[in-house]
Structure formats: structure tokens, C-alpha cells
Amino acid sequence: MTSSEDALANSTSDASLARSKERSAKIDRAIDENPSRFRILTGDRPTGHLHLGHYFGTLRNRVLLQERGVETWVLIADYQVITDRDGVGPIRERVLALIADYIAAGIDPERSVIFTHSAVPALNQLMLPFLSLVTESELHRNPTVKSELEASDGRAMSGLMLTYPVHQAADILFCKANLVPVGQDQLPHLEQARLISQRFDKRYGRAHPDRPVFPRPEALLSEVPLLLGTDGTKMSKSRGNTIELGMSADETAKILKKAKTDAERHITFDPVNRPEVSNLLMLASLSTGRSPVAIADEIGDKGAGALKAFVTDSLNEMFAPMRARRAELLAHEDYLWSVLHAGNEKANAQADQTLDEVRIAMQMTY
């Protein structure tokens, strides 16, 4: 691209993001007016244990949406584990831990549906007609696919990784979700689902004359806090720089004691010039509800040690009830599996119904 083309692309992107934010704010207001209009799809890959980034970034918001009365479907994306890995690892233990984390954090199985990819055949069968609606070049342009290809160091990309955006579209559309909580970086995935929904209706028609088979899912943009790992780099399970939700108070204290700060003793909130110190202040803010600036002013010249102690106490106090509930849940595995089986049953009923509508629209009822 030329510099003028770059500028035009950035301008278009900024304008599109502004429209998405405006639409998201309107939807947020509509939830308060009539939450029954919406069904949310969200979820996680069971590639490791959930940590603070997951909780503050998505999990806490899911609970809030559930409490506002929005029907919530939570996917444990077990098939997506193998998009970029050679095996599934200790997947059974991770799936069990995810269910425990969800319930301990406040996801109510009586009001929300928790289910797994691998247990819902009709969901995955939607991949076939959906793949007919996208081109290879569109898949290669997806940001997640592009970044994976760039990071592959010449390693061949799997077909599942290439079609990852289509699988995500199937996740959203099979249950007729019309709202997806996302960060700005995930908007292209949602746009792919919207395009597939639109193209299916245009190419194959409708099972019912008065409505399309699939809704056009909307984005509910979340202001996900940018949290760094304890080493000052991106928070990641693979880097080992996280505090997992299931860790004990002592484990939390031990990790935070080694957290990276800087040489300046006076504590200030300055994300640009003091990212590591500011990250600890943000954790304290998220766990206490106080502003990071006020916390920094309170600690003042007491130094990094006092800051780490404050963060440790704040996090441990906040997560103590959740950790106790999580331990109680993990002691009753049969209950956790019963929650998953009930969720899978609901997901299968919905997926079968959706697939029937797809077959009718495609004139494949024979």
C-alpha cells in the first residue's frame, strides 16, 4: 500500500470502529430495557487454567450480563484446542476446571448453558455449508489466521486453523446468538459470522418465509483492561506469568513478590512510562473498586514492596469466596459433569433444530 492508501484504510477502520462502539452502546441500553431480546454466545478454549486476565477481561462481564437477565451460552471450545496444537493435553482435567471456574465465578447453570464443541455434532456439521460461503482469500485475511501464519516460522498451517473463523461463526449461529461480547480485536471474527448469515439467506433461502435462518449477530464491545503478566510482558498461560484463579493465597503472594517493577521508590500511576508498576496498580483497582491513582497516592513513598503487599491482600480478599467455592465444586466431580451433560443436551436440541432449518432452506429434506 502507498502512504495515502494506508491513511485511507486507517480512516475507514477508525470510522468503522466508531460505528461499532455507537451501536454497542445502543445495545447496552436496550439490554436494560428488555434483556429477553438477546442471546449471548461466549466461551474459552481449554488449553490451560483460567487466570486473572480471563476473569477481569471476560468472565466477570459474563456474570454481569447473566445477572442483567441476558440468556447466556458458554462454550468450552475443546475442538479448537487442536487448531494450533499437536494434541489435546490433559483436556479432561482442564474442562472440569473450566466448569468449576465458571460456576465459582457466578455463572448459574440454571440460567446459562455450559457445553462443549465435541458433544454437539450438528454444530460442527454447519461447517460444511458455511465453508461454501467463504473464499480462501477471505480466510487468509482474517487477523487471527494472519498472525498465526506470521508466527508459524514456515510451519504449515492446519486446515482447522485456516477455517477457524468459520468454526467460530458456527459457534455463534447454531444457537441463534444475536449478541457476542468481544474486544475490538475480535470484531473481524464477528463480521465473518454476519457475512455467513447474510450469504446463507441470499444463496439458500429461508426455512420460514418471514425470517432468516440465522440472525445477524451484533457486537457488545467490552472495555477489556490491558493487563500485563507479572514479568511485564503480555499475560499468557504459555509464558507462566499469570495468577490462576485456582491458586491459593500463598501461591498468589509468592508470584506477586517476584513481579517486575522499577527502581523508583515513589509509586505513581503512569501506564506509559511505568507500565509494570501501573499494571500492579490496575490489579489493585480492579479488585477493590478504587481508582489506581488514589491507591498510588496512598502508597506514596512506601515503595514496590508495599504496593505488592497491597495488591496481594486485595486480590486474595476478593478471590477468597470464589476459591472456596471452586474447591468445594472440584470435590464433587459428578455434579460438575452433570452440569456439562445438561448443557450439552440443551445445545444438541438447539443445534438439531437449527440444522433442520438449514436442510429445509437448502432443500435437503429427503
**Do the domain assignments include residue 242?**
no
Among residues 139, 65, 162, the alpha carbon closest in space to that of 105 is found at 65
**Do the domain assignments include residue 93?**
yes
Residues 344 and 195 in one domain: yes
Q: What percent of the chain has pLDDT over 70?
A: 95
What's the pLDDT band for 8 if we cut at 50, 70, 90?
very low
pLDDT tens digits for 237-259?
667 788 999 999 999 999 999 99
Helices (H), the chain: 3-33, 52-54, 60-67, 91-105, 121-125, 127-131, 136-141, 143-150, 159-162, 164-174, 187-204, 249-257, 275-288, 292-299, 303-330, 333-361
pLDDT tens digits for 119-136?
999 999 999 999 999 999
Residues 314 and 341 in one domain: no
| Mean pLDDT value of segment 275-301 | 94
Q: Looking at the predicted structure, is the pLDDT value of residue 334 above 80?
A: yes
How far apart are the C-alpha atoms of 17 and 150, rounded to whole Å? Answer: 25
Q: How many domains does the chain have?
A: 2
Residue 286 domain boundaries: 249-330
Residues 322 and 218 in one domain: no
Residues 181 and 269 in one domain: no
Residues 181 and 276 in one domain: no
Residues 265 and 326 in one domain: yes
What's the pLDDT band for 224 if we cut at 50, 70, 90?
low
Global pTM reads 0.90
pLDDT tens digits for 41-51?
999 999 988 99
- Predicted local distance difference test score (pLDDT) of residue 147: 82
Q: Which residue has the higher pLDDT, 215 or 85?
A: 215
CATH number at residue 356: 3.40.50.620
Most confident region among 2-11, 17-26, 144-153 by mean pLDDT: 17-26
How far apart are the C-alpha atoms of 142 and 280, rounded to whole Å? Answer: 33
Residues 83 and 98 in one domain: yes
Cell readout for 124 is 460442527
Cell readout for 90 is 490433559
**Do the domain assignments include residue 229?**
no
Residues 200 and 347 in one domain: yes
Residue 322 CB burial class (10 angstroms; 0-12, 13-18, ≥19): middle
Residues 323 and 351 in one domain: no
Residues 339 and 326 in one domain: no
CATH number at residue 279: 1.10.240.10
